[in-house]
Amino acid sequence: MSLINIGLSGIKVNQSALATTGNNVVNTNTPGYSRQHNVIESNPSQYIGVGYQGTGANTANIIRINDQFLTNQLRADTTVFHEQDTYLSQIEQLDSLLADVTTGLTPAMNNFFAALQGGADDPTSIPERQLILSEAEGLVARFSSLYTRLEDQQTLINQEMSANISEINSLAAGISQLNRAITVALGSGQDKFPNDLLDQRDEKLRELAEFTHVTVIERSNSQEVDVLIGNGQPLVIGDVYNSLQQVQSVNDPLQSDIAFIDDDSIQVISSEITGGKIGALLDFRDNMLSQAFNGIGLIAVGLADTMNHQHEVGMNLEDRLGGLFFTDVNDREVAEARVYGDPNNADPDDRVLFVEIEDASQLTTDDYTLEFNGPTNNSYTLIRNSDESVVQSGRLPAVMPSTISVEGFEITLESGSFQVGDSFLIRPTHTGARDFGMVVDRVEELAFASAIRTDADLGNTGSGVISQGQMLDVNSPLTNQPLSTFSMPNELSPPMMVRFINESYYEVLDATDPANPVPLNPPMNNRLYVPGVSNEVFANDPGQTATSSLGGDIANIGVVAAPTVNGYSAQTLTVTNRDPDTGLVNTSTVNIAANDSAKVIADQLSQVEGVSATAYSVVEISNFVGAGMGLSINGQAITVTAPDPYDPDHVADAINSNPNLAGQNLLAVSDGNTITLRSMTGDDITVEVTGAGSVDLDTPDPAGAGAVTVNAGNGATIGGFVDVEMAHGVSFVGSNSNIFQANPTVQPTYKGFMVQISGEPEANDFFMIEYNNGGISDNRNALAMVQLENSGTLDGGVNTYNEEYAQLVETIGTVTNQKKIDTDSSEVLLRQSEDAWSEVSGVNLDEEAGRLIQYQAAYNASAQVVSVAQELFDTLLNAVR
């Protein structure tokens, strides 16, 4: 090759290098631009006899300086930073809302309970009552405001997600177009890479990484790339891209999901999207924002439920029971709103189910999913969404309604064709703040007084003391129906008298007519009293029931000489104990032998789990007729001295003074005409007439069919009564109706209040329990409502309302601080990745300026070579002329 061609090749090579360097300079600030570099190679040498002569140079390729590892690292760090930064911006709003004293919940709750304390201090003050209503309305407004603000943030998240989805779709379209353009360019460029197109695609991939985690897969047979987002969802495949679309959530109509739309089919991928702005929005929405909704809702539900319950058991200024203070947490509309049916559930759309709060102290901030996954239509699984653990599973009964009770709430499946594949989102507390409202709207309706009062008779001779009484319920916790004791307005039904038979036994009577008290239904007779301790009078088990034996009927037993047996026939009792929580059933058998005493029967029954039985025997002796009559009780001759050996008072004194009979726990009480003889332990009582004369014997209802006359030389053995109390879930049936009815009628024993008696009462001392009519100065229920502020009412009975809220604020604050640290750290890493990428691929103006000088000098030198070649050629021409 000639010298001129060598020089010309140098001009071309350096001219191209100058152009590339200039292009680098002008693209210094172009996002994603990679510095380009000319690859210069020597032309093939020619053999000239004495050796190989060089023939100049050429530009073999123009490449971009790019390190794929650094590009991938930059993309990954971009995803992490934007995820942390977006999450931080969202949680800072939430933290500011809940922690701020002007918008948070704590000041409103404190003001409400402070007003309640003022009302308790002066229960008749109308201004204090009005202040309570005002502060309660302020508390309702604060709950409503918090819920609205959370809803607004959720709406903004939906809007931001929509904008992000549009950006992702635009970038996906751009990447697919660039894939196509790069393929075309490679085909027309003899497999030379289109650097600018590759840079543009890398920049779009980096921009895409701002929104979600991106996986880029290079195709081995081309420069096209496939792009996967999230956990492997295909966004771009070659020159085809899938569009994302925002759709309404199948679980919550207020939330949006992200889905691929393809041929009218929708594939929801929200759970698969991770990283970047949109991953952060989904993560924040589904976790911290949902926790805030549920946490505030939990406090609202707990506060409303506990305040309502306490207010219900109080009495207002109009002598009426308090009723609801706040909106009923189990209002039907509210209960139905806690369930969200999946729109994909099979037709017909006829399922009716709702969620009621059973025990607010056991509620959590979790959401749940109720699934019907087979194998049968009534096979269900309840899943806790936070950890995807199975809370309960089983099969529903064929007949509806049916219930599922877990963790403080109960799902009632009322009706409908539940089918395999059905799914329902269960949110017990999510809308609690929204549903929190006022019911009380008049100062007269505030129930500051207790609904009951107690009193000791002024004529009591002992030192017994009765407590003021503690209200528990006015409605049955099992049925939510009014208890019989509070079924009549403005009265206790019935008023009650606690009367002591002696120092160790008492009975509770119906005192509707205080001058003539009668047994309760069910009866509470012959109750053991332990002096020196506090004795509970009533059961606190809402499910406890009671029944009684039929007792002895003297008319049927008969009067015989030398009586020894009570005439009771044998009976077998089958006791069933069904655990209310687990549904497990245990059965046991009690065999009652013929002529067993009430004491023996009671002892046998009391050995059965869940059963408590008491026994007593009673016989009424009257109509003492005839001179020279003798009387024997349980084989003990009763000696009565003048003046009147047949006077019932003297006979009763003689019985009570007999040490052997006293050792048998026998007690005789005379009203001047009739002696009531009672065995406190339920042993049989044998009454015999010796000598001349006769007496009449009878037993009280329900067994008594009328008195019988016992003549001289005859007698009767009378069996006693057995009162049986059974815990919730316990029942029994008999093999016959000899002792108990074969299918005994049971009555609930739960009164809805508790009363304690202590001290040392004497025989015939009595205490009254009545409705608290006129108790306008009573502040007991107001104090009980005030005490709720500092009582463990939530989180398993551990946290107060304020503690639960503080825990929520602390959790969100902790995450906020951590996100600040994570954001700062991820920003540092992103800057390092950007610097590392710029160090390799970025344009350095100083270096490019040096290259311009270098290539300019080489260009000039090449031009000089051409000039020298021209001069040599001219010299040669001149030499041959």
* Per-residue pLDDT at 754: 96
What is the Cα–Cα distance from 827 to 82, expressed in whole angstroms? Answer: 9
For residue 447, pLDDT beyond 60: yes
Tell me the sheet residues that pair with 357.
Answer: 409
Q: Tell me the pLDDT tens digit for each residue of 141-196.
A: 999 999 999 999 999 999 999 999 999 999 999 999 999 998 888 877 667 889 99
Count Cβ atoms within 10 A of the Cβ of residue 46 and give its class: 0-12 exposed, 13-18 middle, 19 or more buried.
Answer: exposed
Coil vs helix vs strand at 557: helix
Residues whose CB is less than 8 angstroms from the CB of residue 700 and which lie 6 or more positions away in sequence, other chains included: 618, 620
Question: Could you read off the pLDDT of 206-254 as tens digits, one per residue?
Answer: 999 999 999 999 987 778 999 999 888 899 999 999 999 998 887 777 7
Cα–Cα distance measured from residue 703 to residue 494, given in angstroms and rounded to the nearest whole number: 23
- The Cα–Cα gap between 18 and 24 comes to 10
Average pLDDT over residues 685-689: 90
Task: Tell me what pLDDT residue 558 has.
Answer: 64
pLDDT-above-70 percentage for the chain: 97
Alpha-carbon span 511 to 112, nearest angstrom = 40
Give the contacts of 867 (CB within 8 A, at least 6 positions apart): 7
pLDDT of 704 strictly over 60: no
pLDDT at position 362: 95
pTM for this prediction: 0.86
CA distance linking residue 66 with residue 864, whole number of Å: 35
pLDDT digit string, tens, across residues 292-321: 999 999 999 999 999 999 999 999 999 999
What confidence score (pLDDT) does residue 554 get? 66
* pLDDT bucket at 840, cuts 50 / 70 / 90: very high
Q: How many CA atoms lie within 13 A of 410 on its CB side?
A: 14
Q: Mean pLDDT throughout 719-728?
A: 93
Q: Indicate the residue type of 226.
A: D
Q: Which pLDDT belongs to residue 222?
A: 75
Please report, to the nearest 10 degrees, the dihedral formed by the alpha carbons of residues 198, 200, 206, 211 taken in order.
Answer: -130
- Kind of pairing between the strands at 449-450 and 721-726: unpaired
pLDDT at 589: 95
CB neighbours of residue 183 within 10 Å: 17
- At 871, the amino acid letter reads E
Residue 703 clears pLDDT 60, i.e. is over it? no
Assess whether pLDDT exceeds 80 at residue 760: yes
Rounded to an integer, the average pLDDT of 671-700 is: 88
Highest mean pLDDT, choosing among 42-46, 462-466, 518-522: 462-466
CA 816 to chain centre: 25
**Which pair of structure tokens corresponds to residue 269?**
């991928």
Confidence (pLDDT) at 144: 96
Predicted confidence (pLDDT) at residue 15 exceeds the cutoff of 70: yes
pLDDT number for residue 556: 63
Which 3 state secondary structure label does DSSP give 577? strand
Ranking 133-147, 232-246, 782-796 by mean pLDDT, the lowest is: 232-246
Q: How many Cβ atoms are within 10 Å of 738's Cβ, its own excluded?
A: 17
pLDDT of residue 187: 78
What dihedral do alpha carbons 807, 808, 811, 817 form, nearest 10°? -120
Q: Prior bond to 700 cis, omega within 30? A: no
Q: Tell me, what's the pLDDT at 255? A: 84
Q: What is the pLDDT of residues 770-780, one digit of tens each?
A: 999 999 999 99
Q: Helices in 753-800 by DSSP H: which ranges?
A: 780-787
Residues 327-347 have a mean pLDDT of 93
Instruction: Indicate the pLDDT class of residue 494, thresholds 50, 70 and 90.
Output: very high
Q: Find out whether 282 and 217 touch, Cβ atoms under 8 Å.
A: no
Of the candidate ranges 79-88, 424-433, 648-657, the one whose mean pLDDT is the lowest:
648-657
Query: Is the pLDDT reported for residue 678 higher than 90?
Result: yes
Reply yes or no on whether the pLDDT at 564 is more than 90. no
Token representation of residue 285:
């929405």
The pLDDT of residue 230 is 80
Please say if the pLDDT value at position 879 is more than 90.
no
Using CB atoms within 10 A of its CB, is residue 241 exposed (0-12), middle (13-18) or buried (19+)? buried
Quick one: pLDDT band at residue 870, thresholds 50, 70, 90? confident
- Quick one: which of 505, 603, 606, 553 has its CA closest to 719? 553
Cα–Cα distances in Å, from 216 out to 32, 125, 192, 278, 392? 17, 74, 22, 18, 42
Q: Which of 25-39, 606-620, 681-695, 750-764 has the lowest mean pLDDT?
A: 681-695
Quote the pLDDT of residue 562. Answer: 67
pLDDT in tens, 841-862: 889 999 989 999 998 998 899 8
How far, in Å, CA of 55 to CA of 5, rounded? Answer: 8
Is there a contact between 693 and 629 (Cβ–Cβ < 8 Å)? yes
User: Residues 201, 203, 204, 205: is their CA dihedral positive or negative?
Assistant: positive
Res 8 pLDDT > 60: yes
Nearest to 657 by CA among 673, 633, 674: 633
Average predicted confidence (pLDDT) for the chain: 91
DSSP string of 99-131?
H-TTTSSHHHHHHHHHHHHHHHHSTT-HHHHHH
457 vs 624, which has greater pLDDT? 457
Distance CA 281, CA 272 (A): 13
pLDDT tens readout for residues 248-285:
887 777 788 899 887 777 888 888 899 999 999 999 99
